[in-house]
Structure 1
Amino acid sequence: MRTLQDILTDLSFFDLPPAWQDYDLATFSPTMRLWDYQQEALQFALRALWKYYGDVRDLKSGESRATNEERKARFWQWYHDNGLAEDLSISLQRQKPDVRALLKRYYPSEGDRIPYWPFINRMSFWMATGSGKSLVLIKLIELLWRLMRRNEIPAYPILVLTARDDLMKQLQDHVAEFNASRADFRIVLESLKAYPDREHSLLPIIGGREMTVFFYRADNLSDEQKERIIDYRNYENGGHWYVLLDEAHKGDREDSKRQHIYSILTRHGFLFNFSATFTDLRDVLTTVFNFNLAEFIRTGYGKHITILQQENRAFRDTEDYTGAEKQRVVLKALLMLAYARKAQESLPSELSAYHRPLMLTLAHSVNTDDADLKLFFRELERIGQGNIDQAVWQQAHEELRCELMEGQDWLFENDRFQFDQRLFESLTQAELLRLVYNATAPGKIDVLLHPTNSQEMAFKLKSASQPFALIKIGNISEWLKEELDGYEIIESYQDDKFFNRLNANDSVINILMGSRAFYEGWDSNRPNVITYINIGAGGDAKKFVLQSIGRGVRIEPLPGYRRRLRVLYNAKDIDENTFHAVRGPSAILETLCIFGTNRRALQTVMQELDHERNQIAEHEIALAVNHEAVDGRPLLIPVYREVDHTVLEGRKPRKFEITKDELTLLCQYVAHLDDPRVLICHYSVLPSDVTILTRCLANPPEYFNTHSGRRYGRLDILLPRLLAYFRVIPQEVDRLKPVEDEINHFRHIKVFLEDVSELNMKISRVIEEPRRIAELQARFDAGQISFAEALHDYSAIRSDETLSHNGQMIHIKQIARHYYLPLLVSESERIDWILHTIRHPSEVAFLRDLEEYLKKSDNAFADLDWWAFSKIDENLDGVYIPYYDPQSNRIRRFLPDFVFWLQKGDRYAIVFVDPKGMRQADYQYKVDGFRDLFRDGEREPDVFIYKDLVVCVHLLLYTEDANRAPIEYQEHWFDHLDKIGQIINCCDDPPNQT
């Protein structure tokens, strides 16, 4: 099953027309920027909108509704061309009479079903709680406005529908943040009830520098009119809306009237669906960006998650824990918190690394007589008073130590928790008091209140000067009357809002207790332990689990860095000294540990996380490095750095592409303005930009390429793009280094099958092929088996297995010199049940030709001392060649399909190989970029010295007939595989060494 994101992956965002990609996707407000994954979500949204409005049926001014219906039909066909096989049609017989009448009023039926193609103008954003999807939603509004202003999409009003009042308040707060200090564009929010009046007023909804965006509670839309409930027909606007749903998609699609109303409002517009949880197949298939909880964690933006299971027998019966068991479970949670606190204390203070660990204790019920939160509080009080059964303490300490020693699995990842046994074993009861209770001795609990705050109360031990815990619930009055009768109440405490200050550096709160009061709309890096108590097993409870975990997985190892430490280090965002200074404590500080005080709570957590992990039957498998081929050998790759000048100032400036008539128009426009201050004011440019513009326009042949045919259509697109060109900074080679994690796609093979056991078995058989052949040879040489027996056993050993699913087959291959084993090769380019394989026809053909070539005894590789090669995945790997791309007007990364490493004596060659068709004109930009980096002025290879090796870097493009290549680029094209092995001869020492 392929989602919209999967289909769009092959379409590079930077290959879109200029009017669809020249946007600032990073800036949200003066103090906030979108993270890389949030920008990527917007890029995928723009790709999908371009496909719909610019490709399958280009938008024309004043087009008819019939044209839009044709666009939907073509978009639907495009889905089918890319493997959509599921039946998404809607059964009319299953609908209630009023829903059936509603659907038939607006959509054509085919028998007793309505086809799904009229609903296909939609996209879903499946983004984890805590990933900032609300910011993506608001930034998308800006992009829609800009696209409307450029006439790339229809100029329709925008409506945001949210599920709850707190989400509406959150939307208003984020929009206020977005509008802060914005002069070019702002969003004006109005209730949907105001739309009929605005529609007939003189005030434009879509203005020159602002846009009115309507919003409302999604569940208040209906087909009747009441005080808060509104009749959609009074706001329908002929179906010409862009509707953005924020967690408002819930309900069975087959019979939920509201869900169909949302589609009716957008039947001639577009529907955008944002949620942390999707279960409906239609939402899943139209997912344009998947960054759910599993992806959020896998990509390093969130903490690892592990579930402490306590006792396996707890899941085989239904009785609850006894009193002693409850204290043991609470002690385990507190010990884990103390362990995290002690790890945080060991960090170098000057780095301001990580956070003060916090434990969340969450329950659905807090004020009932038998509320488990009260039972937890009583255990917390007993432990704080020193009323600990020593046998229970020893048992809790030892059980938790043993469980951690075994290596807790991290959910969604093929890895385990790294346990610091020495640090954990040093925890004593005195340490627990200090690290959890902020106390040096046991003591009774005092209650801290502020008269103006009826939702929060803090707790401290009488033996301590600072509070250690906080309860935040809807109303604390019942707790004060019933649970805390007899406690000393300290009113008028100076801090009236502990909760608002939880993220402050000086916050002393270590435990936060409560229910729904803070599971949404709250941001914190601090949680390292979550204890669920009596959360039930219903739909609301399951949603509560995912939402609260989403609040607990945020991470910030160092100020301003929102990914895990190792990811930052591998991405070169932090230096080696910083990495090693904090890596020890990072394991626990980057892990969210989940406990449950009753069996039902743990069952609900585990079931819901398993459900999230196995959505659309997704698995991730990891292949193995081919140590026999590469151990002890340097697999060198180039590393780059930005230069101190722009592309204009290079030894051979890259020219800006433009048509001759638009260049003439540009010259006339700048000359007409005459005063450079007009340019500076209107386009917000620097005086230095105007100076460069004047210089370039004075000498067009040196700076402009008018043969490319690149047309921008409008000066307000062309001029900002040209000014951006002036600021493009190229890169240069910094050094060579051995491969570490730069080739990693083979560790993240995604498989969308219910059962991957057969695939894993066949992979294992292929990996074992060399060992089994060696053993067979040894047995034959030792006379243990006859020739006939050896031949029989050899025939059973496979170096090539196959696996088919839905008529799509992959080959599982053993190729001795490849970096990892085995290779997964697809016979179908559009294979939809496995990702990160070799699947493009040009790659498959090259690999097949290479296998055949290597069977020849006189192949050129046989003359080498050593060689190896690897597939490069353009989506996950970091081995690339930077080049200036005039189409996107920026430095882009060219990831060739393969990299070869060759060595003969002290000569060493890095050879990038890309099977390409010559019809792909952009290869010239990539070759030019390669030459700038790895060729001198005479086009001789630059030479690099790595230890005792003389290294050259080459780029070869594989094709059927290299003689057809243009003379200027012919040296890079080849059609005989001899050329790869023989290229080592080009690595003789020229006089200019780098």
Structure 2
Amino acid sequence: DDVKLSPQQIYADILTRLFHAPAGGGLHLCDIRSGAGELGLKAAGAEDYFGLIYIGDTAAFKKLVEKDPAGIILEEDVIAHSLFERVNRPDSGLHILIGAKKFMEGWNSWRVASMGLLNIGRQEGSQIIQLFGRGVRLRGKALTLKRSASLPGDDHPKHLRLLETLNLFAVRANYMAQFRDYLEREGVEVEPAIELPLFVWANDQFLQRGLVVPRPPEGRDFAAETMLLLRPDPDIHVQVDMSVRVQTLESTRLGLHTAEARAGLGQTIPPESLAWVDWSQAYLDLLTYKARKGLTNLIIRPETLRHILDQVPGSIIADAAVVRPRSFAGRALLQEAVTRVLRRYVDMFYRVQREQWDAQTTVYRTLDANDPNLGFNRGLVREKPTPTYVVKVSRSDQQLLEAVQNLLQKTEQLYKEENGGLPRIHFDRHLYQPLLMEQIERAQMIPPGLKPSEAQFVRDLRAYWDAEKDKSLAGREVFLLRNLSRGQGVGFFEERGFYPDFMLWIVDKTGQRIVFIEPHGMVYAKAYIHDEKARLHERLPELAKEIGARSGRNDVRLDAFIISATPYADLYERYDDGTWDRAKFADKHILFLERAPGYDYMEKLLRDGQ
């Protein structure tokens, strides 16, 4: 985010820094004659090597390369000295080292940041532990061999965490548990982060002001009131992952994290393969799934299953043999793929129908303490049934741990101040306190903390309210509430659900205006005509009338704005047709996080919108 480079600039920078080839080029594999077992890797036209293959039998490996259709060019280098001897030099241009077990013993390097292992460590043994040691070593400040999290002070270089991170990727290597045990013995944190509850204080006085929120009515039952016929919906895109599993262990400031990834390409099931499917079995499997999920109001007809596979866009991340079986035995994987696609589609279809029904039955309900936006993690601590943040902090970050624990004891400071070691915003017009800010490098939060653009919006709103509450905003009150995501927040549904980040009430003697606000970057935004989020404001006036008619009130207006974190100067030429000026953006309810003479987005949001 700090660099602000385009994708093309990032790609060019990778070519230059990593591969020493600004213009790109094919791959050359060079036999280093002065270095036994060394094969250098360089891009066509580049002078420097970016990588080294260090193995025993280079002759056999080169024969395999010659047979490969990838077009790798083989060369000999009789001038260069050993590349392996350069790996540890501070000025080394070698970024990739590939090898077997040849360099496990008697080698040490501070430079290892990522390790990728294939078919290694399937049996226990000391060699694997030696290999792990190549990447676990961390030099640390002044040769302390410690991460910055374990050192005093906060004045560490920005993005240092990335340099202190070891990423381990493995395919078909059964040693993750052994590696975890080894790291624990070496003092690397492997225990999960400490979870601390941070209780939220809701403003009861604000909840007595009669603020309303569009919500489905109480007492209505979607399953009892509707019958759904499963049908193909081209707007639903299904993706199923059946690819090869890859395990990773990542050593970061928050400890050692285990994760899994899948390697494979997106495939579609060709029509000829669908002839291999046992549709009767697929239908019975889907009926069983429906019963298990309790979808009592969903009707499934046998012939619909084939129509869904034919008409609904989707992909299966898997080997080609899964969707194109080569043998009778391969049909089992194809059958499983079809079953998983159909189950996923049923889940998504039912959710979309439920959300659309919610939107069609929505009424204005008085906002109270039971609203889902005020109930996150409620009951997590039995003795205190209030909304609660869960803050996950690394066991090694004693400074942050102590700060959070101190705040738990000093509620006055927690709810009314912004210091104390845990970044947060205090805005007394928000319906609860505190509003935490995200700390990607130090803590994880549930629900997530405010992103920078969201935090800036809250600060700007606070400043504008403080300055104008007795002037241009006299006779009005504002109330702010962070809107959570699916399952808790207020959403709008066309093609997909959209949950704006904030709800802002502007209340005067004539009624209340509810403004849904979404601050985010717009570098990759769709053209306006295709952007459901940007065009939400167009349909809200009519929606407000419909909800008002169902609710028996006409004093509520609905509005929406996108607040662009991308500056106007960086956006206007690339957005839509490239002709939009500030006035057109504002007319389409797209404002910029800018407050200056001649353009103040807060003024346009709060004054011009009245």
With normalisation by structure 1, the TM-score equals: 0.29
Write 1 or 2 for the structure with the bigger share of strand. Answer: 2
Computing the radius of gyration from Cα coordinates, the structure with the larger value is: 1
User: What TM-score, normalized to structure 2?
Assistant: 0.44
